[in-house]
Amino acid sequence: MTPPDVRRARLARDLSDRIAPPSGAACITLTTAAAAELSSRFGQLSGDQRSNLFLGTVHGFALNRILRPYAALAGLPEVQDARVLRRREAEALWAQTLRQEGIPDDPLLLNTVRKLRSEFASDEQWSLTGSAVQARDAYLQVLRDNRLLDFASIIEQAVTIVETHADVRLALRAAFDRIYVDEYQDLAPGLDRIVRDLCLSAEADPSTLFAVGDTDQAIYGWTGTDSRLLTDLASQPEVTEITLQTNYRCGAVIAEISRRLFPDGRPMIAARAGGSIEVLKVEGSVDGQARRIAEEVALLVESNVSPDAIGLLCRTNELARAAAEALGDRGLDTWVREDAEWESMITNWLERACGTLLGLARGDGIGALVDELARIVPNLDVEIRGQIVGLLLSIESGMSARQLTSDLFNLLVSAGTDAATVATDELAPLLDHLASNPQVLRSVDELAARQLRDGRVYVTTLSAGKGLEFDYVFIPDCDDGRIPFYRSINNRRELEEERNKFYVGLTRARFKVTLLWSGYTTDRRDRRHPCPVSRFITQLRLA
């Protein structure tokens, strides 16, 4: 994710000056969080309400702008109204299929099939995997027989439709005059193929592509993404490559030192002076490091640094939770960013709406919220908009989150096909979650709290830190074997991704990065294993 200031300004300008209605634009991001941030801030620059304006994720684009509208036209009516399985449902169906087929269940097999599907692997690559092909075929058959889609099949079907139907390509090009793709280095081949079909083919009136990416920040190769797609895209004759050389975020010292991780020596001009990176050796392994971070954060807050200008980027979610606890013990408020399985553009919107209506967050008011909803739910009619305003105005502290979600769901379902589809695909998972977990997110206040970052130290993983920025960043667990993780050390590509992730972490800071290590790690039985400082810190020439 990228702080969307530059992207949203570009999009707003293009929509007002360059893209004549009814044509529109698709702005595609990797994560819901990035898309939601872009969508909420976009409204401050542009009131554009055309229905051909898509701001969302890769999967959202494939599902809502390709499969739902065009599957029937492409001769796949069973796909058009297929139900999208949530991750856990898909995993259960996978396990059940394997049992029926008599194939031993093995997490490695699931990961292999996931990765190969995401990579759009060739028949030859599949044939090298033994039972993976049989398992895949049986599972895909079950999906088809039951009119179901999983996350990978959304992309697979969208690619098939776009690649085999010239009329669908024509319609998509007409709808989306421009396509903006962020974090191109972390794209799996599916969207790359769709983008090339729409933007780089020799067919008439291609869409214009605006892609942003940085191969040094590629971190998802293990899921089947491939940063070489970006390099290859940039080398196409019809593509103009613009290399950005100025780092507007990090102080010069951070910008310069962090580049030492890369052998190419590509210079980075820093627009901001100063900056520092400090390495602290702390007793007590990650617990001791978390306590030390809490002390340092408390000092910063005492010296009037706002807690939300401080980011704590951890190797794992587990570590992030433990670190947040240590900060909590010192009386510091934290905001722990964790992905929820049911998260989508509309659930993110609902959380922010609750925050605004309860007066807990600085929001742009009901008008902006409803305009934003109209971008998430295309063709939302005026009467339903009015009823949604009424629903928002009824929000008050203590109200049941489940009731509010259910009321919104019912309103959308009554509002015609497009809205009903969004309700079923994107809001129903939250409703199911609330129904099956009555102890969590009981009130609208708790729903709102998921987005209340102001005044809280932001605690998350190195990967989820992508696109964020802080004045001060802390990275614990910088012992070799943890960062980089020992299992990636003998695999060149995995090691590169570990390095990139570390680079992402360093470059989130404007003023100062603090790296912590202990000189040993502890295992589950609390036994100590001595280890040197992270090889990346050695590469930075800081130890």
Ligand X SMILES: Nc1ncnc2c1ncn2[C@@H]1O[C@H](COP(=O)(O)OP(=O)(O)OP(=O)(O)O)[C@@H](O)[C@H]1O
Sign of CA dihedral 418, 424, 430, 431: positive
Nearer to ligand X, 447 or 509 (CB): 509
Torsion (CA) 183, 488, 289, 467 in degrees, nearest 10 = 0
Residue 106 as a binder of ligand X (CB under 6 A): the answer is no
Report the residue from 3, 416, 481, 532 that binds ligand X according to the rule CB under 6 A. 3
Residue 375 as a binder of ligand X (CB under 6 A): the answer is no
Q: How far is the CB of 272 from ligand X (least distance, A)?
A: 9
Report the residue from 210, 248, 342, 520 that binds ligand X according to the rule CB under 6 A. 248
Taking contact as CB under 6 A, which single stretch among the options 3-11, 117-125, 171-179, 480-488 is the one that binds ligand X?
3-11
Look at residues 339, 352, 329, 322 and name the one whose alpha carbon lies nearest to residue 454: 352
State the number of CA atoms in the 13 A half-sphere of 127 facing the CB.
3
Assign 310 to helix, strand or coil: strand
Nearer to ligand X, 249 or 315 (CB): 249
In the chain, what's the furthest Cα-to-Cα distance? Answer: 66
Joined together, the tokens standing for residue 187 give 């794209």
CA dist 325 and 315 (Å) reads 16
CA dist 61 and 64 (Å) reads 5
Nearer to ligand X, 65 or 249 (CB): 249
Q: How far is the CB of 6 from ligand X (least distance, A)?
A: 4
Q: How far is the CB of 260 from ligand X (least distance, A)?
A: 17
Q: How far is the CB of 247 from ligand X (least distance, A)?
A: 8
Joined together, the tokens standing for residue 268 give 């980075």
Report the residue from 507, 514, 518, 521 that binds ligand X according to the rule CB under 6 A. 507
Q: List residues bridging with 25 in a β-sheet.
A: 53, 178
Q: How far is the CB of 270 from ligand X (least distance, A)?
A: 11
Q: How far is the CB of 127 from ligand X (least distance, A)?
A: 38
Report phi then psi at 303, rounded to 5.
-90, 25
Q: How far is the CB of 428 from ligand X (least distance, A)?
A: 32
Nearer to ligand X, 429 or 505 (CB): 505
Nearer to ligand X, 3 or 288 (CB): 3
The count of chain residues that interact with ligand X, using the rule CB under 6 A, is 11
Q: How far is the CB of 248 from ligand X (least distance, A)?
A: 3
Q: Which position's Cβ is nearest ligand X?
A: 248
CA dist 331 and 329 (Å) reads 5
State the number of CA atoms in the 13 A half-sphere of 106 facing the CB.
10
Tracing tokens 């997110």 back to the chain, one arrives at: 441
Nearer to ligand X, 206 or 221 (CB): 221
Answer for the pair 166, 203: CB distance below 8 angstroms, yes or no.
yes
Tell me, residue by residue from 51 to 70, as one string, x for binding to ligand X by CB under 6 A and - for no binding.
--------------------
Joined together, the tokens standing for residue 510 give 């404007």
Residue 501 as a binder of ligand X (CB under 6 A): the answer is no
Q: How far is the CB of 79 from ligand X (least distance, A)?
A: 35
Determine how β-strand 83-84 pairs with β-strand 148-149. parallel
Taking contact as CB under 6 A, which single stretch among the options 2-10, 50-58, 98-106, 231-239 is the one that binds ligand X?
2-10
45-63 burial string, b = 16+ CB within 10 Å, else e? ebebeebbbbbbbbbbbbb
Nearer to ligand X, 4 or 429 (CB): 4
Answer for the pair 76, 161: CB distance below 8 angstroms, yes or no.
yes
Residue 2 as a binder of ligand X (CB under 6 A): the answer is yes
Taking contact as CB under 6 A, which single stretch among the options 1-9, 218-226, 342-350, 515-523 is the one that binds ligand X?
1-9
**Angle separating helix axes 87-101 and 131-145, nearest 10 degrees:** 120
Look at residues 61, 77, 84, 67 and name the one whose alpha carbon lies nearest to residue 168: 67
Nearer to ligand X, 3 or 532 (CB): 3
Report the residue from 5, 339, 383, 396 that binds ligand X according to the rule CB under 6 A. 5
Sheet holding 457-461, edge to edge: 276-281, 509-517, 470-475, 310-314, 457-461, 334-336
Answer for the pair 313, 461: CB distance below 8 angstroms, yes or no.
yes
Q: How far is the CB of 8 from ligand X (least distance, A)?
A: 10
Assign 250 to helix, strand or coil: strand
Report the residue from 69, 467, 484, 505 that binds ligand X according to the rule CB under 6 A. 467
Q: How far is the CB of 169 from ligand X (least distance, A)?
A: 30
Residue 311 as a binder of ligand X (CB under 6 A): the answer is no
CA dist 342 and 340 (Å) reads 5
Report the residue from 81, 333, 469, 471 that binds ligand X according to the rule CB under 6 A. 469
Answer for the pair 294, 330: CB distance below 8 angstroms, yes or no.
yes
Residue 6 as a binder of ligand X (CB under 6 A): the answer is yes
Residue 249 as a binder of ligand X (CB under 6 A): the answer is yes
Identify residues 188-227 at the interface with ligand X (CB under 6 A). 214, 217
Chain residues binding ligand X by CB under 6 A are: 2-3, 5-6, 214, 217, 248-249, 467, 469, 507
